[in-house]
Amino acid sequence: MRRSWIALGVGLPLAVAGLYALSRRGAPAGDAGTPTIAKLFASGAAAPAPASLAGLDITNISMADNVATAPLPNKRTARLTLDTNLQNAALGVLESHHIPEAAVVLMDVETGRVLVYANHVEEGSPRDLCAEATAPSASVFKIITGSALLEAGVTPSHKECYSGGEQRIHTRDLVSDPKRDRWCTTLTGAMGRSINTIFARLALRHLKPKGLEGTARTLGYGAPLPFDLPVQPSGLKIPEDSLGFARTSAGFWNTTLSPIHAAWLSATIARGGEPVRPVLVSDVVSSSGKVEHTATVGVSQKRVLKPEVAKSLTEMLDDTVLEGTSYRAFHDGRGKAFLPGVSVAGKTGTLSNASAKRHYTWFTGFAPSHPYMPPQSADGAAPMVNAPRQVAVAVLVVNKPTWQVKANVVAREVLRAYFAGYNLPGVSPPSARRVSDRRDPPTAKNR
């Protein structure tokens, strides 16, 4: 039974030095000279692409005969790992909603092959948004804090009572008070519903700033991500003071994230804590047709999570779709799953930049998070289908005040396109028309 009565832990990731403000309350945006999160972290140097891929123009993808290509200098061509049907489906969803900016990454968990690398800029010059780390991580950072808490011995079933923290965290919210703390849930429930107060309190109780920073860096923050394109490092600045540390632990401040990093992180959890290098270019062909470079796929990287921690994280992230902040996105009005038999683990994030009049939403996760279970037919028999390959997904959506669609709905539509390709019972491809998530527009609450 879905426990809809439990309050969602929500809170707007506030500004570094006051820029990111509560749009609903009309909070001031800060001094004109105050640096934005993007300015604070944009100086991080991206890892150079492999020499053979230098100069790859990913904003100029061509798709013909079910093959995606992009130009390289000296009249060379990069053949990409993209699935053209899925790439077109993702772009179609983004374009149908006229979203100001959005990015989608879908990658094969086992091989690291990138199946979708979709960048959408409604107005202005095209950019590689998938590799930009200028959007705040928001509550996606709870994955990092959750990992650190599990390493510190906190279990997914740990029960915590709470109050406050829905729109911002105050000092009083960090102190347990039986008279005020009338709602209770587990660490799993806190992840699924993105309950800020629980993450803030547990971080203060079990973690230290240096330890959380170490976990974040182990999971890819603050360093370039090895990839076929330059990737801006995801920003990281963990405060030493208790309130700042607690807020950051809950996903309020001081971190940024790129979509490709988010997909890599989700794939890492799906793989039991052992990352795989993402691959976008399958081979490089010279102007004469000679193959100059062929990619190696499935290259495992150094383990960053213990298998048992990755397993517990999966359990916690399952709750986001089963009962948490993405239940409605992945179920219709009657409670029927859009992906029957396909378990989805994921995490949402939401914030508003009042000064720029932009609303950011995130969804990152992987599916199937557990072995596929085909729904039974009326006679009780399960249909014979090929087990789908596991994929990781990351979606960033930037809306104007005239809100369009959120990232978890876009992620659902991309996953529908992917799993419909396996002809799974009950899974239909996404509609070409605009879709609704049956929710109110994003507010000053972070989910």
DSSP state of 51: G
Q: Locate 356 and state its tokens.
A: 């720029």
Specify the pLDDT at position 436: 53
Higher pLDDT, 429 or 378: 429
Q: Which amino acid is at 225?
A: L
Average pLDDT of the residues in 137-147: 98
Specify the pLDDT at position 434: 55
Specify the pLDDT at position 379: 61
Give the whole-angstrom CA distance, residue 29 versus residue 20.
7
The candidate with the shortest Cα–Cα distance to 259, out of 365, 350, 351, 344, is: 365
Q: Locate 198 and state its tokens.
A: 């629980």
- If one counts every other C-beta atom within 10 angstroms of the C-beta of residue 382, the result is 12
Specify the pLDDT at position 432: 63
**Residue range 380-419, pLDDT digits in tens:** 666 667 889 999 999 999 998 877 899 999 999 999 999 9
Q: Given a cut of 50, is residue 426 above it in pLDDT?
A: yes
pLDDT tier for residue 121 given thresholds of 50, 70 and 90: very high
Burial of 204: CB neighbours in 10 Å, binned 0-12, 13-18, 19+: middle
Question: For the chain, first and last CA: distance in Å?
Answer: 21
Q: Is residue 447 part of a domain?
A: no
The candidate with the shortest Cα–Cα distance to 263, out of 396, 360, 371, is: 396
- If one counts every other C-beta atom within 10 angstroms of the C-beta of residue 152, the result is 16
**What does the DSSP assignment read for 101-117?**
EEEEEEEETTT-BEEEE
**Residue range 303-328, pLDDT digits in tens:** 999 999 999 999 999 999 999 999 99
Burial of 216: CB neighbours in 10 Å, binned 0-12, 13-18, 19+: buried
Give the whole-angstrom CA distance, residue 396 versus residue 362.
5
With a pLDDT cut of 70, the percent of the chain lying above it is 85
Q: Given a cut of 60, is residue 178 above it in pLDDT?
A: yes
Specify the pLDDT at position 441: 43
Specify the pLDDT at position 260: 99
Higher pLDDT, 38 or 251: 251
Q: Is residue 2 part of a domain?
A: no
Specify the pLDDT at position 353: 76
Specify the pLDDT at position 380: 62
Specify the pLDDT at position 22: 29
Q: Is residue 339 part of a domain?
A: yes
Q: How far is CA 209 from CA 38, 212, 213, 220, 355, in A?
A: 22, 5, 6, 17, 30
Q: Which amino acid is at 82?
A: L
Specify the pLDDT at position 47: 72
The candidate with the shortest Cα–Cα distance to 368, out of 437, 294, 422, is: 422
User: What is the value of pTM for the model shown?
Assistant: 0.88
Question: Is there a contact between 214 and 147 (Cβ–Cβ < 8 Å)?
Answer: no
Specify the pLDDT at position 16: 29
- Residue 78 makes CB contacts below 8 A (sequence gap 6+) with 53, 56, 69, 70, 71, 72, 281, 283, 284, 285
Q: Is residue 429 part of a domain?
A: no
Helix (H) or strand (E) holding 353: strand 345-353
Q: What is the mean pLDDT of the chain?
A: 87
Average pLDDT of the residues in 204-223: 98
Q: Is residue 342 part of a domain?
A: yes
**Looking up tokens 């193959």, which residue turns up?**
291
Average pLDDT of the residues in 334-338: 97
Q: Is residue 441 part of a domain?
A: no
- 9-23, 49-63, 428-442, range with greatest mean pLDDT: 49-63
**What does the DSSP assignment read for 151-200?**
HTT--TT-EEEE---SS---GGGGS--TTT--EEEEHHHHHHHT-HHHHH
pLDDT tier for residue 165 given thresholds of 50, 70 and 90: confident
Q: Given a cut of 50, is residue 19 above it in pLDDT?
A: no
CATH number at residue 288: 3.40.710.10
Helix (H) or strand (E) holding 360: strand 358-367
The total number of structural domains that make up the chain: 1
Q: Given a cut of 60, is residue 32 above it in pLDDT?
A: no
Q: Is residue 400 part of a domain?
A: yes
Q: Is residue 10 part of a domain?
A: no
Give the whole-angstrom CA distance, residue 244 versus residue 110.
38
Specify the pLDDT at position 355: 74
Domain containing 168 equals 16-420
